Every structure is written in C-alpha cells, then in structure tokens.
Amino acid sequence: MSTDTEWVKWGQQDPYFAVITEDRFRAGKLNDEARQAFFDSGRLHAGYVLDACRRFINPAFEPARALDFGCGVGRVAVPLAERVTAVVGVDVSPDMLAEARRNCDLHGLTNVELLPSDDTLSSVTGSFDLVHSCITFQHIDVPRGRRLFARLIELLADDGIGAIQITYAKAYHPDSYGQPPAPPPAVPPLTVRIESRAPSFMRAVLGERPAPPADPEMLMNPYSLSELAFMLQTAGVTSFSVDFTDHGGELGVFLFFRKPAR
C-alpha cells in the first residue's frame, strides 16, 4: 500500500512531529528552543554518519556530493550541507520540501537542491559520493522500498559510500523473532448501528467546534536483511558494516557499504 498521500498530509499538518514524534515538535508547540533541539539532533546525526563512514570504510572520506533520501524538513540535509560541497534532498511531500527550503535559507545555505521523489527517483541526476537515508524506508512498503534501495545503490559513484537505515524487526514480537505474527483469517464484519442524541445535545451546549484534524497514518514496515544483503552483493558490494538502531521498539540497522569501482 502506498503511504505517499499520508506523507503529503503529514507535511501539511505536522511536519516536525512527523519526523520526531515528540510532543514538543507538534505544530503550534514548536518554539525556538524545540526547533534548536530538532536541528541539534540532525547535526549530531550528520556527524555520526560521517564518522561511521570513516570508522567502517574509508578514514579519509570527504564526500563532495551527498544525497539525502526522505529528507523531510532538512534536519540532516542542513548540517550535511554545512560539511560537504553539495546536497540533494529528495522527499515525497511538497510541504516538507518547502519547509526544508525555508530552513536552508534560514541557515544561509545555497548548496542544497530539493527534489520531489518518485519510485525511480527520476528527478535525481548524476552520482553521489554519499547516499544517506534514515527513518524513511520504514514508512515505504517493502516492494517499493526494494526498488528504491536498488536505485540508491545505482546512484552511488564508484567508491561512494551508502549509509542507509532500514528497520527489520519489532522488539514487541519476541516470540516470532521480531516479525509480526501472521494475521488471523478474515471474518465478515459485524455491523452494529448505534443511535445517539448526544452529539446534537453537545453541539447545543458547546456550540459548533471543528474537531482538530486527526493524525495521518504512519506505517512501520520491516524489511528482510537477507534481501538487502542479496541486493548489495549482486551489485558488487564486497562487505557491509552495521550499527543497530532502535526507535521505540522498531529495530533497525544502519548499513554502511562502499560501492566498488567498476
């Protein structure tokens, strides 16, 4: 199932909270202090990614051109752009991209290109020394995610480094090794109709008040590590390194790998 429409809504309704689901980042609550904390987390993350590329793969790694797939409002793209020559950020939500542009402007950055995403990343041209993605694949259904993962490998320059985070299991399913158990067989829905006079009574007392918009959906998809390893190996990658990630029980891996020169 495609969740693009949900991410378009997240971008319109609550872009910072959609990136880090903490109450202080909710639209309407986001103050200067929270905004600072939000970008501090991105700065820490960008530093971690570059350090891990050097620690695991190439101690002399100094990327010139970097791609941030699923860049959101620029939490990582902004600090990356302060450390490399040029950044391309790609996202499926136009409002996330517009907010990322505002954030680049606020930080005085002119080396960031922000592009809309599709399943072949058709707007993205050229190759990259660093291809990065974090907390994004989990929101994309697996068949599409596999194709996008392969496309990201393709976009790496020879000797470029991929730093891609993917979820693979859920801590709250220990009995099935982190995988969601098979759903029970479908039963026909039971329809119950309940009539109530409460809503009109409440309207009379409280007056008409529009309900706040409900949060859009946010799916969390686990990927198969074997499939990702297969894609890397058949693309010519000879090894990869892993740091584990855990976002509230969504267990993942940050994969670091070098694309060999052809």
Ligand X SMILES: C[S@@+](CC[C@H](N)C(=O)[O-])C[C@H]1O[C@@H](n2cnc3c(N)ncnc32)[C@H](O)[C@@H]1O
Closer by beta carbon to ligand X, 95 or else 227: 95
Is 223 a binder of ligand X (CB under 6 A)? Answer: no
Is 135 a binder of ligand X (CB under 6 A)? Answer: yes
Q: DSSP of 60-119, one letter per residue?
A: T---SEEEEET-TTTTTHHHHHTTSSEEEEEES-HHHHHHHHHHHHHTT--SEEEEE--T
Count Cα neighbours of 27 within 13 Å in the Cβ-side half-sphere: 12
Closer by beta carbon to ligand X, 94 or else 236: 94
Closer by beta carbon to ligand X, 207 or else 247: 247
| Neighbouring residues of 71: CB distance < 8 A, sequence distance ≥ 6 | 77, 89, 90, 91, 96, 97, 100, 114
Is 72 a binder of ligand X (CB under 6 A)? Answer: yes
Q: DSSP of 145-198, one letter per residue?
A: HHHHHHHHHHHEEEEEEEEEEEEEEETT-GGGTTSPPPPPPP-PPPP-----SH
Give the separation between CA 66 and CA 105, rounded to whole angstroms: 19
Closer by beta carbon to ligand X, 38 or else 181: 38
Which position among 9, 139, 146, 259 is part of the footprint of ligand X (CB under 6 A)? Answer: 139
CB 9 within 8 A of CB 67: no
- Which residues in 147-176 contact ligand X (CB under 6 A)? none
Closer by beta carbon to ligand X, 43 or else 54: 43
Size of the site for ligand X (CB under 6 A): 21
Which range, of 58-66, 87-95, 104-112, 152-160, touches ligand X by CB under 6 A?
A: 87-95
CB 152 within 8 A of CB 67: yes
In angstroms, what is the minimal distance from the CB of 131 to ligand X? 13
Which position among 53, 87, 96, 161 is part of the footprint of ligand X (CB under 6 A)? Answer: 96
Is 9 a binder of ligand X (CB under 6 A)? Answer: no
Which position among 49, 53, 76, 161 is part of the footprint of ligand X (CB under 6 A)? Answer: 76
Give the separation between CA 170 and CA 189, rounded to whole angstroms: 28
Is 136 a binder of ligand X (CB under 6 A)? Answer: yes
Closer by beta carbon to ligand X, 141 or else 159: 141
- Which residues in 11-70 contact ligand X (CB under 6 A)? 11, 18-19, 70
Is 134 a binder of ligand X (CB under 6 A)? Answer: yes
What is the total residue count of the chain? 262
CB 163 within 8 A of CB 135: no
**Residues lying near ligand X in the complex (CB under 6 A):** 4, 7, 11, 18-19, 70-72, 75-76, 90-93, 96, 117, 134-136, 139-140
